[in-house]
Structure 1
């Protein structure tokens, strides 16, 4: 076995493999091994194989949580560090992390951490919730910054082929005009067209508003989609010509439209888990429709209806017949890889709802096409 493979196996197996693989780790690897053992060595406790804190052991000195976090931040790439801290909060629920506001505030913001803290917030002391809110806000703001411009580009107006834009965007790229404008740069020997100046379409501002109703399933399996839905609602709420309504549901429906502009308040309000009554939620959406032909209802759900499906399908048919645009999002997150009820999705599609799993960027593009 190569030295690198031996090293990797030793780090995977942990300190209890040190006797059989004594030469596997170098000096720096010893720090990595100790950092990993601080967290994943707890797996032995969970299985009842080892008890920590006993007397008369030769275990290495125990790190404090704040020291461990600082050490792992230096030892590992950011993506690995984010995974480690999320496991510390979510999987192992380390008390030294969860009960110390200063430790929580020192955590590196990430989507995984925000999701973990949200799932734990009901178990945390009141004095650390303010720190949790700060970390979640930093995590959410990173997502907002990445997505806002995509929605601005897609939704602030339709493409204007008679006005050129100085802001390059793949959505606005005018390939026909670009080819015509650069034909004189054609290289016959290489048989290539050299693009000296790409052309992009400008955009025309809309005057008539659209109503966008986001209807979001807050069951436990939808945690990532709930986070992105809150972010999307806040971005849409800040755009001209768009009126946003935000509903979240399980077996009841809650209207969060009054806080839709603040994704952190939305996330701190939702209660992940519980049953699912999609039909009840869409019936509530029906009551909010004022101008059907300029309304989009986006259902974000795994389509696992807990109630009899007749009411749900009837509501979809009524909305579709009134010419409301319906989109069922089986996932709305960065991966767009959903687990959902395929048969129910097919029934919803037959009743008049377009069903897809989309990233936020593709959702922005779809809204831009609908609202053009």
Structure 2
């Protein structure tokens, strides 16, 4: 297929049935067009472009059987990234809650952090049956994240390095180059000028003897939905590590203490209320009030730093906490991309008063905490 033909096909599929006269679909694309039409014809219906009986996707009360068939076709026809977006829009934008209300169908939905984040933003509009399906999806997302992230946190926060102790489970990051070279000097080949290594030494990790408090202060505005998912999982993993006490706080214009649920990220996410304003100053002041041992406390603020409260109060609180010994870190995004859109101007001002700010992946967050608590 030529580039121009491929482009025309793409536009025809985007525009749907109304482009058929000028841009015929062509053979072999009927199933793809029908699958797209099942969902996006609903947009035409909303805008009054389709009559009551027009289009297989025009009705907003599709049966479970039709929804299951559509879900299977979409999974087969689209790349994974496209399918994840389409299934999220089906539920959050076009009301196909049939995908959630039927337990068997809910189990067929492809779980992802993006889908969980999108569904959490419409959770309050779901009835009890759909909310049960949502919990099922969130539980599957959480289980996968915990399985992947727990070893990372255990490795990073398992203890501080001890150069005098040999590691029983050596890692590349613990390679002791100086000792390795010293112990193999007798194997130096002057002719080839190469050092032959037959013994490799690693540092070990001493058991952590002092406890740390980690306060996770998580912005629950809509733009932070994905970061909230990862934050809940990180809190649960941290709460299971020895020597670390976790306090989990979510905030918008007020603060909710979810510490009692920190071990259960599904419960945390089902209790969260995404949306609303953002008062970082008030939230940080609350965090300051619960800090009992500043020298052994890390406060991690997960936010896009678009402050709706008092910037002056926020900076004053951050400066006071940093001066008192509390470690402050700001996380502009906590997800697998480590990329964020955030208020860089406010972030720079927070850095000036003692808070380190970055957008990080969960793996890097684990390493960052280890560095801060070293």
The whole-number CA distance in structure 1 between the counterparts of 2:200 and 2:94 is: 52
- Pick closer, same or farther for the CA change 1:163–1:5 going to 2, 3 Å: farther
Please give the secondary structure, in 2, of the residue aligned with 1:208. Answer: coil
Look up the match of 1:158: 160
The secondary structure found in structure 1 opposite 2:206 is: strand
| Higher mean C-alpha deviation, range 64-73 or range 172-181 | 172-181
Partner residue in 2 for 1:359: 361
- After TM superposition, give the deviation of residue 221 of structure 1 in Å: 1.4
Are residues 291 and 95 of structure 1, via their aligned partners in 2, closer, same or farther at CA, if it must alter by over 3 Å?
closer
Q: 1:23 to 1:355 in 2, by over 3 A?
A: closer
SS in 2 for 1:336: coil
Change beyond 3 A, Cα 1:242–1:253: same
- Which blocks of at least 5 consecutive residues in structure 2 are unaligned? none
Aligned runs of 1:234-313 on 2, under 5 Å?
A: 234-313=236-315
1:89–1:197: structure 2 CA closer, same or farther, 3 Å change rule?
A: farther
- The one-character-per-residue Cα deviations of 1:89-147 (angstroms, maximum 9, x if unpaired) are 12322243354444333312111221122112111111332222111110111122221
C-alpha deviation, 1:160, in angstroms? 3.3
Q: How does 1:312-327 map to 2 (within 5 A)?
A: 312-327=314-329
Under a length normalisation based on structure 1, what TM-score does the superposition of the two structures give?
0.87
Q: Per-residue displacement from partner, 1:312-371 (whole Å, max 9, x unpaired)?
A: 122111111111110111111112222222222222112111111111111111111112
Structure 1 residues 362 and 170 mapped into 2: Cα distance closer, same or farther (>3 Å)?
A: farther
Residue 226, structure 1, aligned to residue 210, structure 2: no
In 2, distance between residues paired with 1:233 and 1:175?
35
Match of 2:87 among 72, 85, 88: 85
Note the C-alpha offset of 1:257. Answer: 0.6
Partner of 2:32: 32
Structure 1, 221-230 or 331-340: larger mean CA deviation: 331-340
- TM-superposed CA distance for 1:150, in Å, is 1.1
The SS at the match of 1:326 is strand
Range with greater deviation from structure 2 (150-159 or 198-207): 198-207
Gap runs ≥5 in structure 1: none
1:70 counterpart = 2:79: no
Give the root-mean-square deviation of aligned CA atoms: 3.2
Deviation at 1:46, TM superposition (A): 3.6
Say whether the 8 Å CA contact 1:10–1:25 is kept in structure 2. no
Deviation, 1:209, is: 0.6
Contact 1:167 1:200 in 2 (8 A): no
Deviations 1:293-315 (A, max 9, x none): 11101111121221222221221
User: Which residue does 2:334 correspond to in 1?
Assistant: 332
Q: Take 2:322 and 2:301, find their aligned partners in 1: how far apart are those partners?
A: 13
Partner residue in 2 for 1:42? 42
Deviation, 1:8, is 3.8
Using the alignment, how far apart are the partners of 1:90 and 1:49 within structure 2? Answer: 22
For residues 28-76 of structure 1, give each alpha carbon's deviation from its aligned partner in whole angstroms, at most 9, with x where no partner exists.
x32222212212333323443224524xx79999881111112222333
Alignment partner, residue 124 of structure 1: 126
1:159 alignment partner, SS class: strand
1:77, CA displacement in angstroms? Answer: 3.8
Q: Distance in 2 between matches of 1:98 and 1:68?
A: 14
* Farther-moved stretch of structure 1 (229-238 vs 124-133): 124-133
TM-score, L = length of structure 2: 0.86
In structure 1, C-alpha distance between the alignment counterparts of 2:226 and 2:58, rounded to whole Å: 38
Q: Distance in 1 between matches of 2:133 and 2:96?
A: 16
The 2-side partners of 1:256 and 1:160 are apart by 35
**Per-residue deviation at 1:260?**
0.4
User: Are the counterparts in 2 of residues 89 and 116 from structure 1 also a CA contact under 8 Å?
Assistant: no
Question: Quick one: distance in 1 between partners of 2:56 and 2:307?
Answer: 54
Q: Distance in 2 between matches of 1:192 and 1:46?
A: 74
- Please identify, of 218-227 and 3-12, the stretch whose mean Cα deviation from structure 2 is larger: 3-12
